[in-house]
Amino acid sequence: MTNLLLHICCAGCLCAPLEELRSEGLKVHGYFYNPNIHPLLEFRKRLKALRVLQESDPIEIDYCEEYGLREYLSEVNYEGNNRCEDCYSLRLRTTAHHAKEKGFDAFCSTLLFSKQQDHEKIKVMGEQIAERVGIPFEYRDYRHLCECSQRIAKKKMLYRQSYCGCIFSEFERYENTTRNLYGGWKLKENSASSNTQKEEKLNCP
């Protein structure tokens, strides 16, 4: 039986592929190492979601609980176009080394199971790192299970994030919502009188 160290970035892409890997006869051990998740409370939410998953699933997970903002900023060229490449490389490299140190047979990452990530880049990078570190990369493409996995995570009431992870991806996710948010405030002010009318109708104190 192959003892696989699976890098996990959050619970979202994990649920369905985990069952597939097991049905293929692999023994899956998780590894939470994500210095790319910011800010701190978001990092803790994603980490906690895995602990919640463990309450209903026997998967063992090694957690790197240190908040890695500084590590991320020193390793990733966030000004250039290769931000995600640097980020993948950091996480895959560390996973490969951890797998080798702990005596696993191979490593893999839930990054490969997402439709949002650069699948081909992760595949090539995983194979290169495997060769350099000297441990096999167990490549899998479970992108077709993406929606199913999210549904299972929802059913299990696991936290599902709304942006990739780093502070830059959070900005990109929400930058176009700013105007609407301010519009919302304006709307609130403008509709103050109609709210008062509503409140009167409802007999609010």
Q: Which two tokens stand for residue 118?
A: 């650069």
Residue list 16-55, contact with ligand SF4 (CB under 6 A): 36
Taking the C-alpha atoms of residue 117 and residue 91, their distance in angstroms, rounded to an integer, is 14
Neighbours of 66 (CB within 10 A): 11
Q: How far is the CB of 192 from ligand SF4 (least distance, A)?
A: 40
Q: Would you state the structure tokens that stand for residue 185, as one six-digit string?
A: 């405030």
Assess 110 for contact with ligand SF4 (CB under 6 A): yes
Contact range with ligand SF4 by CB under 6 A, out of 8-16, 62-70, 125-133, 188-196: 8-16
Residues 6+ apart with CB under 8 A from 12: 114, 149, 150, 153, 158, 160, 161
- Out of 29, 83, 123, 143, name the contact with ligand SF4 by CB under 6 A: 83
171 versus 182: smaller Cβ distance to ligand SF4: 171
Strand order in the sheet with 27-32: 60-63, 27-32, 3-7, 106-109
Of 21-29, 56-64, 120-128, 163-171, the window that binds ligand SF4 (rule: CB under 6 A) is 163-171
- Residues lying near ligand SF4 in the complex (CB under 6 A) are found at 9-10, 12-13, 36, 83-84, 87, 110-111, 114, 117, 164-166, 168-169
